[in-house]
Amino acid sequence: MVCKEASWGGDNQSDQEFILLGVADRPQLEMLLFTIILVCYMMSLLGNTAIIVVSYTDPRLHTPMYFFLSNLSFLDLCYTTSLGPHMLLNFWRRSKTITYNGCAAELYISLALGSTECILLAVMAYDRYAAVCHPLHYTAIMSHSVCFKMAAFSWVSGFSNSLVQTVLTLRLPRCGRNQIDHFFCEVPALIKLACVDTTVNETALFLATVLFLLVPLGLIIVSYIYIAIAVLRISSTAGRRKAFNTCASHLIVVSLFYGTAISSYSHPSSKNSRDQGKMMALFYTFITTMLNPLIYTLRNKEVHRALGRAVKRN
């Protein structure tokens, strides 16, 4: 399919359609990926919805930790839904296209939610730091208003970053280029379509990567250094185990999310590394959002008991 005229001399690019290449050159992979993504998407919907419902309905889970966990689950639900249905549909279609407006919406929403998750995971690390290192003052430090402000900051900063990146990316002239080498609309893939110098965009993307990936990750590492020191000072083995269990699930989620996200955004431009980057993007979009509720519920006895009470009530 040839896209409509979209020259960089001032023609309207909003009439353009994009072709999402994905793995179109290897159709034998499409049905395998369709099955994997469908299973992950359905499990993510089920698991994250269960955490949100249980955290809201069970008074014993009305604590800062589960308030942020509910935010994370809601975010993951929205994140996978912003990409999953259209991607699954494209695996079955011969013409793997997306409209300009659809691409713009997909780009903005997915990037906003991904950026929000980066900040929210750092906020959750601070919550664990306050719980382990300052247990006597925890309720004062993490009051209801503080938790709400920290969650709001995560969402507002994520959506603000996405607005800047989306506007900078979509205003680039593409001179009719419309083949996106990815499964969905993503900033690096769209920048490659530009037919002008993209230094400003690449600089803005680098700064955003530092602010929303490296800085939060650094804060998380510092938080866990203090947590580790505090845990080692606990004299009883049972106390150390309890403190470790309150943080282990979050640490596993952080490792999965940040590891794959940084790998995806920092890979070089060779063909093999591009394919690896696309697979990494699928991993942190669908696999991690599926694993998050499993990790938190499998290691958390409070959630086990809350789910048991919910089942008995129904």
pLDDT tens figures, 227-278 = 888 888 877 777 777 777 777 778 888 888 887 777 766 554 545 556 677 7
Residues 9/12/15/20 CA torsion (nearest 10 deg): 50
User: C-alpha angle 79/85/90, rounded to 5°?
Assistant: 125
- Torsion over CA: 197, 201, 204, 205 (sign): negative
Q: How many structural domains does the chain have? A: 1
* Residue 56 maps to a domain: yes
Tell me the Cα Rg of the chain.
21
As a whole number of angstroms, the distance between CA 240 and CA 231 comes to 6
The pLDDT value recorded for residue 259 is: 79
* Residue 230 maps to a domain: yes
The pLDDT value recorded for residue 141 is: 92
Residue 4 is given by DSSP the state P
* Residue 241 maps to a domain: yes
Contact 127, 64 (CB under 8 A): yes
As a whole number of angstroms, the distance between CA 44 and CA 121 comes to 18
The pLDDT value recorded for residue 211 is: 92
pLDDT at 153 > cutoff 90: yes
Full residue range of the structural domain in which residue 280 is found: 17-313
What percent of the chain has a predicted confidence (pLDDT) above 90?
36
* Residue 46 maps to a domain: yes
Q: What is the mean pLDDT of the chain?
A: 83
Average the pLDDT over 82-94 and give the result. 87
CATH number for position 305: 1.20.1070.10
The pLDDT value recorded for residue 135 is: 87
As a whole number of angstroms, the distance between CA 41 and CA 112 comes to 19
| Residue 79 Cα distances to 143, 254, 291, angstroms | 28, 16, 14
User: Residue 8 — very low, low, confident or very high, per pLDDT cuts 50/70/90?
Assistant: very low
The closest alpha carbon to 65, from 152, 156, 139, belongs to 139
The pLDDT value recorded for residue 151 is: 96
Q: Residue 240: enclosing H or E segment and its boundaries? A: helix 237-266
Average the pLDDT over 168-196 and give the result. 88
pLDDT at 10 > cutoff 50: no
* Residue 102 maps to a domain: yes
Average the pLDDT over 50-74 and give the result. 88
* Residue 240 maps to a domain: yes
Average the pLDDT over 127-156 and give the result. 93
* Residue 237 maps to a domain: yes
Please tell me the total number of residues recorded for the chain in this structure: 314
The pLDDT value recorded for residue 121 is: 93
* Residue 51 maps to a domain: yes
